[in-house]
Structure 1
């Protein structure tokens, strides 16, 4: 089956799990749990800065950061990268000892420390083929309001609530006039620590 990235390159979805034969997004109740969690999480990650740019410019100059185009890792434990810095990440993983931390909680911290110490990929170091694919060509995940509409369509009594940060779905009594998504944590920064699941279409030599 064909696989496709949505919103950000990196996470790969089975097209048949996410899209109908007509090319429309499937109702969330028809999407497998892990796929649904990633899809929901993508709506939160859209527009976030590249980790490497953030390490260079910091919170005070966050506006100078490139917007992330690539995501590696598991939901809530992602490394976000722009195309300018993906080669640095790949070099660290392939040649700089990063693979030793595969599956460890310190994986993201180790990359941050390596990058913050002014380590970079050599000039001309190659990335992955998808680096040449324009992000504007990727399908865009449904926005939060649309996700909730689909999730609660024809559902009475209790409302299903989506937490965009975690991708978790809970049930609440629904009066019909409440906000339909959990508020995003505006204080979310690059300080969260997580590991990367390198079994997810990950960089290889």
Structure 2
């Protein structure tokens, strides 16, 4: 049975527990409670920004934050980090005592506190080496013929509000409310 990451690196799942023989996702009720919790939580955090970037830039500069690439910790107490900050988290966990928070609800808060106090991995620290298996199995995107795409776009029926007089005073169902 192989272990796989889904969406973000870090949390690992038994492939046979999560997917059927036809590579379809199993129904949630067929999964163990821990796997179900992690998959549901992944759906909430997969599009998150990196916690470390957010601590640096905050909500007011959220566009400066890199997207999350990895997740560590337990659901709802997890830390999500981008590739640039993953080594900081690994360093904190391995070298700065972060491992004492493994499985603890304080995991995220403890990392955030350490990071806010200036904690960073030293220059050249090698955290985790990730190995992508079977990247050649990914389908190649189709070749895009720009001319054909342009012709297809021009052939679609589009209406411009400037080209027509629109009567916006019509009655619509429910407009009497």
Q: Do Structure 1 and Structure 2 share a fold, with TM-score over 0.5?
A: yes
Matches for 1:87-166 after TM superposition, within 5 Å: 87-130=87-130, 133=132
**Matched residue, 1:48:** 48
Instruction: Find the structure with the greater CA-based Rg.
Output: 2
Could you list the per-position Cα deviations for residues 20-78 of structure 1 after superposition, in whole angstroms to 9, with x for gaps in the alignment? 11111112222222212211111111110111000000111111101101011111111
**Matched residue, 2:70:** 70
Partner Cα distance (2:123, 2:7) in 1: 28
Partner SS for 2:92: helix
Q: Any unmatched runs of 5+ in structure 2?
A: 139-177
Could you list the per-position Cα deviations for residues 95-134 of structure 1 after superposition, in whole angstroms to 9, with x for gaps in the alignment? 122223444443322211111122211111012122x649
Partner Cα distance (1:7, 1:30) in 2: 20
Partner Cα distance (1:106, 1:17) in 2: 29
**Matched residue, 1:157:** none
What is the CA distance between 1:10 and its match in structure 2? 0.7
**Matched residue, 1:32:** 32
After superposition, the Cα gap between the structure-2 partners of 1:33 and 1:98, relative to the gap in structure 1 and judged at 3 Å, is closer
Q: Given the two structures, how large is their TM-score scaled by the length of structure 1?
A: 0.61
After superposition, the Cα gap between the structure-2 partners of 1:33 and 1:97, relative to the gap in structure 1 and judged at 3 Å, is closer
Q: RMSD of the alignment, in Å?
A: 2.2
Partner Cα distance (1:54, 1:23) in 2: 35
Is this contact kept in 1: 2:5–2:13, CA < 8 A?
A: yes
Partner SS for 2:12: strand
When structure 1 is superposed on structure 2, of 27-36 and 75-84 the one drifting more is 27-36
Is this contact kept in 1: 2:92–2:98, CA < 8 A?
A: yes
Partner Cα distance (1:3, 1:107) in 2: 23
Partner Cα distance (2:78, 2:124) in 1: 26
Partner SS for 1:129: coil
Partner SS for 1:90: helix
Q: Any unmatched runs of 5+ in structure 1?
A: 140-205
Partner SS for 1:119: coil
Q: Given the two structures, how large is their TM-score scaled by the length of structure 2?
A: 0.70
